[in-house]
Structure 1
Amino acid sequence: MYIIYAILCFPAQGFNSVSAMGEIAEIIIGKEIPTTHMVYWIGGLIVIIAVIAVSFGGTRKIAKVTDVLVPIMAIVYVLTVLILIVINFSRIPWFFYAVFTEAFKPEAVFGGSFGIALMQGVKRGLMSNEAGQGTITMPAAASNANHPCDQGCVQAVGVFLDTIVICTLTGFVVIMGRVWLTDNSAAWFELDKLPKYLASVAELTPGTSFNSMVTFLVSLCFGLFAFTCLLGFLSFSEICANTISRGKAFISVIRIIDIAVICFGILTSIVGLDLSALWDLSDFANILIAYCNIPLLYLGFRYVKKAQEHFEKEDGTPFTSAVAGRNVAVWDEKAKGAL
């Protein structure tokens, strides 16, 4: 199931990386570029080569790359959006007015809008932070933490940053931009994700040189977000494949399938085919994974509790199978290496 989930996510994230490159190229050239332009083909080739180079290095190489990219893009994105919000501080009261008045209108509560918003929120929330799915624990396991609770705290902070910080800041820009209230609202609703967001950015920086800089930074972050998501899905599929068979030939086949699906996603998107159905399949896979994983959270809670109690003691003893109450060979080996 996890392998299928990862494969379903590859096409969209592959094209997101390339579309960000296209937006950056448009800033440099100064005019709109169609997706069939050579820039997109070159961008797609760069993404594919980068994915091949990283994927055949294994999950630890993927972790090293994302450890470098994720903090940089997160800091750049947060600072950029905060600057946007500060220079448009006069729109902040309207932001809260719009959020609360639209959320509690009778037609929103009773007309189905509330249900749609809730459904979309759950789907996109799962896609954003993956809390409760069990997927994000796979790349977390590739880290070199001194104690499982150390990495657990990092993962908890990651959920907070993804959902509360990054997504909220993105919402600020879209709502403060108020593009859906302008004469161009119909065209705005037809735009894809990144162009729609950049149109909101343009409304917050109208006719200024700062707009080009912000557009460049946001597009760069968008591309890095998508690329690191690709790497994350690669690690998901490889870790799951290892539970089926550790044979080198089998793992290589999985890697080749992953890369082939990424190529498919990039190529079909460049030529203009609609891949929106893949998001529906991905959401369905998310639901299945959550249903499988949530019962395991209850079953495994006692082991988490033991790890937490050992972590809070801070008595200097290593975390081992004896402490966990079950076989955790990785931590036994780490404890032997520390002696």
Structure 2
Amino acid sequence: MDFNATLIAVTGEVDGFLYTYILLLLLVAVGVYFTVRTKAVQLRYLKDMFSQLTEKKHVQGARSISSFQALMVSTASRVGTGNIAGVATAIATGGPGAVFWMGLMAVIGAASAFVESTLAQIWKVRGKEGEFRGGPAYYIQQALGKRWLGILFAVLLILCFAFGFNGLQAFNAASSLEYYIPDYATNGAAVACGIVLAVMTAFVIFGGAKRISVITSIIVPIMALAYIAIALWTTVTNIAELPAVFSLVFASAFDFPSIFGGFAGSVVMLGIKRGLYSNEAGMGSAPNAAATASVSHPCKQGLVQSLSVYIDTLLICTCSAMMVLVFYVQDPKAAAGLNGMPLVQMAVNNAVGEVGIHFITFAIFAFAFSSLIGNYFYAENNLRFIKGDSKAVLLVFRLVCLGVIFYGAVNSFDLAWNLADIFMGLMAIVNLVAIVLLGKWALKVLDDYTAQRKAGKDPVFVAASIEGLPPTECWHLEHLEEYGKPPVQEYLDEQIDVEYAGLQ
């Protein structure tokens, strides 16, 4: 066995151990903990998740973005090729019951997503051009006072997303050509695909956060709606099969002898893994997008990011699952011999004919491209945390990232996949420890939001209203004056009344 093969094998073992015995338990435990502490905020405020999407920017900076645009950036990164092939793999390997556990973990994980994104909003910073930045690195430095730990998190995220996952997304996009061009990897098609992806990505990332948010606000809804439409068509036209589908899912989900006979590879474990890998709740990636939104209260974006978890897992992943499970019920022999992307392609082909395969190819490319943009956004945010706004460093970084995308399109990244998983695992552990330590502040800010909602107000947050809150750069009373519109003006008027009463 050569050195490279040995390295792949060793990192694969480390990756498997880290996720199966450490990270998975941490993610579930933290999700359950915050579900209890927030009194299931991810369910109580389901209506608010949708109402906050239409909120306009409260700070009209040249580079500030809206709540909806921040949601699209985070969803762009969350929703990738794993939502298609990964779900099929979980079903094929662990059984149809994986879908149930995947959905349950999305609901539990949404509480962690709320907390980490609310923290990112509380300790966000303002850039020179009016844009907001933030994320775990920022709240670790400001609230915990551990800049070195924030830098460690930032480095792990950059290695994972910019140099690991982006190369892998490019490879997945190029490999979608195999159905049409069997020798795509050797006849120049992969090279052409790599160039196209690099050029398209360059156009977006050199435009900054504003252009990234605009592009993802177009791509993500279109591809998601198209994918949902074909899944709904599959479901509706095969509605007679649904009882058999649900029977299959629940029988597999609660097959306890099978589950406890080999728990590490069981339907429960694979479902939990797929849900957590896919929606990234608690991993520390989405807060980087959450912090960029211009909102009047941190909890507003926390709720919106919980919705992103639902969109990713309960909607997109469930769509993939329904198409595959209908195929399982209708043609179990054909489905039994397939896994991953071929299983999805044949499932769609079974539902709508050959046009379905063409659609899946488009979906893979669109999902991969949107992930490239979202992943880069996270990486740049953390590079700025480490090095500030150095234009020279940023230019070199962007060029290197484009090189990784091109290289990923023409080369299989077995080692990079393992390393990216390990980096993400370590990154998640740092973030999970941080949000458990800082969670009390997110809970107090949630209490403030709840009190204002009960009073019939559109919540507005001022840092001084939370006693003992570690210093923040934003959310001070003098900053609210630049909003200049209700409900902020109403809040300022109330403050003046209180101060006047005190003088009397």
TM-score class, shorter-chain normalisation, is 0.7 to 0.9
Deviation at 1:33, TM superposition (A): 4.1
1:328 aligned onto 2:478: no
- The farther-off stretch of 57-66 and 45-54 is 57-66
Deviation at 1:158, TM superposition (A): 0.8
- Residue number among 168, 172, 184 corresponding to 1:35 in the alignment: 184
Structure 1 unaligned segments of length 5 or more: list them: 206-210
1:220 aligned onto 2:362: yes
Number of the residue aligned with 2:448: 310
TM-score normalized with structure 1 length:
0.83
- In 1, the alpha carbon distance for the partners of 2:438 and 2:327 equals 45
- In 2, the alpha carbon distance for the partners of 1:184 and 1:320 equals 56
- In 1, the alpha carbon distance for the partners of 2:276 and 2:256 equals 28
- In 2, the alpha carbon distance for the partners of 1:334 and 1:228 equals 34
TM-score normalized with structure 2 length:
0.57
Listed one character per residue, the Cα deviations across residues 239-291 of structure 1 (whole Å, up to 9, x for unaligned) are 111111112222222222222211111111xxxx4x34433333322321221
Number of the residue aligned with 2:34: none
- In 2, the alpha carbon distance for the partners of 1:214 and 1:134 equals 35
- Asked if 2 retains the 8 angstrom alpha-carbon contact of 1:62 and 1:235, the reply is yes
- Residue number among 172, 191, 208 corresponding to 2:322 in the alignment: 172
- Asked if 2 retains the 8 angstrom alpha-carbon contact of 1:77 and 1:221, the reply is yes
- In 1, the alpha carbon distance for the partners of 2:480 and 2:194 equals 44
- 3-state DSSP class of the match of 1:164? helix
Number of the residue aligned with 1:264: 407
- In 1, the alpha carbon distance for the partners of 2:459 and 2:349 equals 56
- In 1, the alpha carbon distance for the partners of 2:269 and 2:255 equals 18
Deviation at 1:17, TM superposition (A): 2.8
Number of the residue aligned with 1:288: 426
1:89 aligned onto 2:232: no
Deviation at 1:32, TM superposition (A): 5.1
1:231 aligned onto 2:373: yes
- The farther-off stretch of 66-75 and 100-109 is 100-109
- Asked if 1 retains the 8 angstrom alpha-carbon contact of 2:197 and 2:406, the reply is no
Q: Report the AA paired with residue 324 of structure 2.
A: V
- In 1, the alpha carbon distance for the partners of 2:170 and 2:446 equals 38
Number of positions where the alignment pairs a residue of Structure 1 with one of Structure 2: 318
- Asked if 2 retains the 8 angstrom alpha-carbon contact of 1:173 and 1:201, the reply is yes
User: Quick one: percent identity of the two aligned structures?
Assistant: 28
- Residue number among 213, 217, 228 corresponding to 1:63 in the alignment: 213
Number of the residue aligned with 1:182: 333
Number of the residue aligned with 1:132: 282
- Asked if 1 retains the 8 angstrom alpha-carbon contact of 2:169 and 2:369, the reply is yes
The structure-2 alpha-carbon separation of the partners of 1:306 and 1:183, relative to structure 1 and needing over 3 Å to count, comes to closer
- 3-state DSSP class of the match of 1:330? coil
- In 2, the alpha carbon distance for the partners of 1:317 and 1:101 equals 45
- Superposition misfits of 4+ residues, deviation over 6 angstroms: none
- In 2, the alpha carbon distance for the partners of 1:253 and 1:156 equals 34
- In 2, the alpha carbon distance for the partners of 1:316 and 1:89 equals 42
- Asked if 2 retains the 8 angstrom alpha-carbon contact of 1:63 and 1:142, the reply is no
Listed one character per residue, the Cα deviations across residues 126-160 of structure 1 (whole Å, up to 9, x for unaligned) are 33111011210101222233322221111011111
The structure-2 alpha-carbon separation of the partners of 1:256 and 1:122, relative to structure 1 and needing over 3 Å to count, comes to farther
- In 1, the alpha carbon distance for the partners of 2:380 and 2:263 equals 39
- In 2, the alpha carbon distance for the partners of 1:249 and 1:109 equals 54
| Aligned pairs (5 A) from 1:140-151 | 140-151=290-301
